[in-house]
Each structure stands twice: as structure tokens, then as C-alpha cells.
Amino acid sequence: MKLELGYIFIKDIQFAEQSKVENGTLYVNKEDVKALILEDQNFKSADVELARPGESIRIIPVKDVIEPRVKVEGPGGIFPGMISKVETVGSGKTNVLKGAAVVTTGKIVGFQEGIIDMKGPGAEYTPFSKLNNLVLKCEPIDGLKQHEHEKALRFAGYKVAEYLGNLAKSLTPDEVHTFETPSLTEGLKLYPDLPRVAYVLMLQSQGLMHDTYVYGVDAKKSLTTMIYPTEIMDGAIVSGNCVSACDKNTTYHHLNNPVIQDLFEQHGKTLNFVCVIISNENVYLADKERSSNWSAKLAELLGVDGVIVSEEGFGNPDTDLIMNCKKIESKGIKTVLITDEYAGRDGTSQSLADADAKANAVVSGGNANEVIELPPMDKVIGHPEVVDTIAGGFDGSLHDDGSITAELQVITGATNEMGFNRLSAR
């Protein structure tokens, strides 16, 4: 399967009478976007704000971050099964507004939501401070159930991202990047001497509002399966969960998964990137056993020599991570794990809730319990008072001057377990 991603670089974002992309600037008609959001009667009000790199702006509580993309050529549309019909994506041509994002916020949905600072020390921990963000502040109607609020906010983000992406449909990209995965037999013929590598992508699916969607299906309803990596780049997997902000995979993370991009970079050079195995994370032991059994079975069936496994979340999912590792290693297949750590504020506690001697190659995204100080911002988009209750915050985290003392886990993407961050440990 072959996909061409056409990057249209966005260097600025501004409000204007007409939505368009021109000379590297994304112009947005604010009223059109508000009207699009308010098509959903679950919202009583909506506002749209801009947040650019270096501006003294804090966004809280952040729910999701989405990169605008549009199918230009080939089957399907962006976010299949969500706002486009269910058709296999991952081939043809897709244009990307690179450097722009849609960020959703408003009244808090779950306690595991986060902060994006566009300036200061907090900005150094999140990749989203480097983007030109269109922030959707969507307030739900009174009495709306949390899961209904989450769904409404999720779809608002997708709809606006699609609206912005369509502005780039007829544009000529600044750069074109091609990604191609041959069939299993073709790969063996093309790269007979290269090690065969697969990527086990663990998807958060541990109960209500801990959802990840694959072609519109909640991952907890699916067995471990295989997918072309380019399908993920075309929006086949989207976020719908409320795990801690620091290691949550937003929709933007899935679209720009750095493990996939790095494996493609080495594909045909130092390794043969065979496919992605997607596996859910579960609450009950039997479900954990089933999913990890299938991960190992598929890795064996594919005849791979090595596997990279990335986790989402912490604590309970650590068991799924270690099960995947042990069972894949037992097949004679080498594993490398990507996770983060909850090692206590002083860094001396056990980093993961589970462990095994076979987990001897681990990449860390940092310690989410580290305490940080965030200075006040000139402008706050959202509801700053929730910092005392979101995961990583505590009673007294928010100070009278608007500054914040909290654990690193309050910052969206700070210890991301795909490695989409600036922290690690050696």
C-alpha cells in the first residue's frame, strides 16, 4: 500500500472573512466554525480562539488535538468510520496542513485532561506549543452525561479539522513524502537479508471514556489485528479517551506516530517494516491474556525478527505491556518497549506496575511524577480552576497569581509513549 502525504506548511493562523490557505497563513472564518460546532445540539455555546507559538496563552483542560488533513486522491476520506464512510484508507494522496492543529477544550469531561502552555517552561514539554492552534471552546448543555459530552467534543474536533483540511484539497504541497509497505511475499523478495520488524501499537481501551476508535469501532470490542501503517496516517485510528494528559495519544499523535515514521525511514535500508499490529488494553485478566496471546501469535505468523511495543497510559496497562513482551519474547522474537515512568516525585519508586526479566530493552519517555512550576500566562482559554482536580494536580496547585505547581502529568504529551516528546532516560 502506497500513500503520498503532501505537506502544506502553516506558519501563521489568523481570523478572516474567508477561510483559506495563502502564503503559509491559515485564514479562518470564526463564525463559520462556530456554526459548524453548534450543529450539535449538545452544546449550548461555542467560541473559537487562536493560540500561536510564543504567545502567553494557557489552554486548559485540553481534550484532543487534531491535525487537519484531506484526501486528495484514492479511496475513502479522512477519519473513516467517524465522519467519512467506512472504506479502507492509506493509499493515494492526502494533503496535510503541517504546523496547524485543532485543540478542543471547555468544561471538564474527565479528570484526566491536560494543559498546553504556548510559552514558558511548560511549552518546552509539549509538542503542541510549536503549532498554530485553532482552539474550540465548547460548553455542553446542562445535565449532559459525561460520555455524551466526550463524544460531542470529539466529533466537533473532527468536523472542524475536516473543514480546515478541505481548504488544502486543491493546493500544491510544499513537500511530498511517500510511504509504501509491500505485501509479505513482495517484502521477502525485495529484502531477503534484512531483519523483519513489526510494531505492536497498544491502544487505550479500559472502560468508559478510555476509548480508542479504529474505523469507528471502539478498540475494546476488537481482537488484536493487523493494519497497514499508512492507514493510521490517513486517520483510521482516533483518540476518544481521558487517560493522563502526559501519556495520552491524541488523534494528532496517531496521525504523526513517530515510531511508524522512523521505521519507514529505515525500511529497505536496515530493516523490513512488515506491518503494525494493533492490540487493545484491558481491565480483566482474561481479556489481557487473550489480546497478548494474539499479539504474540500474529508476530510469529508474520515471521518477524523483532517487535517494537508502545504503551498508552500507566498502571493497569503496564500489565498488558509486560504480557506482550513476555509472550512475544517466548516466540524467539526480540522486543523493545516504549513507556513512561511513574517513579514518584523523587524518582525512587518502582517505575512500572509490572516487570519481567525479558523486558530488558526499554525506552523511557520520562517520569510523569516530576513536579514542575508553571508561571502565569496573560491569557487562559478554558477553565483554569480545574488544575486542582486533573490528574497530576492537587488542592492548591493553582495559585492566586495564576501560576501552577503540579506534576508533569498535567501537560499534554509531556511523556508520550510513542516517543513524541523531548524527555527520555538513559
* Nearest CA-CA partner of 241 in 328, 143, 154, 160: 154
Query: Residues 138, 242, 246, 325: which is the catalytic one?
Result: 242
The Cα 87–Cα 34 span in angstroms is: 29
**Residue 61: is the preceding peptide bond cis (ω within 30°)?**
yes
- 3-state DSSP call for residue 386? helix
| Share of the chain residues as helix, strand and coil, in percent rounded to the nearest 5 | 25, 35, 40
What ranges make up the beta strands (E) of 254-317?
Answer: 272-280, 306-310
Cell of 87: 472504506
Dihedral sign for Cα 279, 284, 290, 293, please: positive
**DSSP one-letter string for 132-174:** EEEEEEEEEPTT--HHHHHHHHHHHHHHHHHHHHHTTTTSPPS
Q: Hey, what amino acid is at 276?
A: V
* Nearest CA-CA partner of 222 in 295, 145, 309, 167: 295
Q: Which residues contact 50 (CB under 8 A, 6 or more apart)?
A: 13, 14, 15, 132, 133, 134, 135
The neighbour count for residue 242, using CB atoms within 10 Å, is: 25
Residue 425: Cβ-neighbour burial (10 angstroms; 0-12, 13-18, 19+): middle
Verify whether residue 242 is a known catalytic residue.
Answer: yes
- 3-state DSSP call for residue 180? strand
The neighbour count for residue 264, using CB atoms within 10 Å, is: 18
Cell 484531506 identifies what position?
A: 70
Cell of 317: 496497562
CB 417 within 8 A of CB 311: yes
Active site residues: 242
